[in-house]
Each structure stands twice: as C-alpha cells, then as structure tokens.
Amino acid sequence: MAHFWGDSWPHWKKLHEAINFIEDYWRKYGLIDTCMCKEKFGTFRDYAGFWPAYLYLINNKYLKSFLFFLSKYILPTRLIIKYQEFIYNRGIQLACLKYPEIKDEILSDLSRYDLIKKGPGTDFGGEELESQYWRK
C-alpha cells in the first residue's frame, strides 16, 4: 500500500487531485477544517476539524465572537456536527467514485473510519473498513 517517491507508481498526480477534491468539498459544503490534509507514503492523511474547531481559524475577532455566541446559545451544535460528519463521508465517497484506481490509497489512512458508511464509493464502512487496513 505504501508508495515512495521514485517508485514507478503512476498515480501520484491523481492522488494529489483527489486530496484537493476532498479538501475543497469539505470546506465548501461542511466548513470542515482541513489545514492538515496531506499525502504521506502515497496515501491520503486527513486531520479533519469539526465544529467549532473551524472557528479558531477566523481572524476577524467580531465575526469569531458572533459565531461563538451562535454556537453556544442559538445553533444546535450537535446538528451541525452531524451535518459535517455526513459531508466528511460524502467527500470520501465522491473521491472514491471519481478516482477508483486509487481508492485504497484514499481509504487506508483515514482518521475517522467510524464516519464512513457503506455507499456508492465504498463497498463497506466503519469497522469493516478499519479492519481491512489496520490490524488490531
């Protein structure tokens, strides 16, 4: 599964395109913090930050204060997190559909296997996915 620079593996460019696709999808539809997504040893590594972690990246102190107020008193935070978890799963599913030749590289090092559901991009999800790529 691991790949190294200089290998004859032909999918380096597609892996980077898939990483950019997932990051853009997460940011655009879920406001998921993706500042630490990267390629390592030819696999996709994600460190997704869910609500309210994204608020720490906002530089405007007034906007940040307003959003913290909303998250604490008005918006149902758990509902927002559930939506972000759906978007996390959906981004991975779409990337696996768009880049089926590197599906293993996308799925093998996810930080939140528990959020991946069986769907159009993966034949199984959650614990089955984790046990396929990680030995316990």
**pLDDT, position 99:** 92
How many domains does the chain fold into?
A: 1
pLDDT in tens, 64-107: 677 777 776 766 777 878 888 899 899 999 998 999 988 888 88
Give the separation between CA 38 and CA 41, rounded to whole angstroms.
Answer: 10
- Please check whether residue 39 lies inside any domain of the structure: no
81 three-class SS: helix
pLDDT in tens, 46-74: 878 777 655 655 666 777 677 777 776 76
- Please check whether residue 100 lies inside any domain of the structure: yes
- Please check whether residue 38 lies inside any domain of the structure: no
- Please check whether residue 23 lies inside any domain of the structure: yes
Measured between alpha carbons, how far is residue 43 from residues 110, 112, 126 in Å? 9, 15, 18
Give the separation between CA 124 and CA 9, rounded to whole angstroms.
Answer: 26
Residues 6 or more apart from 90 whose CB is under 8 A from it?
25, 29
Give the separation between CA 20 and CA 16, rounded to whole angstroms.
Answer: 6
Domain assignment of residue 78, given as a range: 19-32+45-133
Tell me which residue of 105, 91, 89 sits closest to 38, measured CA to CA. 105
Mean pLDDT score across all residues of the chain? 78
- Please check whether residue 5 lies inside any domain of the structure: no
- Please check whether residue 59 lies inside any domain of the structure: yes
Tell me if 93 sits within 8 A of 121, measured CB to CB. yes
Give the separation between CA 2 and CA 38, rounded to whole angstroms.
Answer: 14
Tell me if 115 sits within 8 A of 85, measured CB to CB. yes
Task: Find how far residue 97's CA is from the centre of its chain.
Answer: 15
- Please check whether residue 94 lies inside any domain of the structure: yes
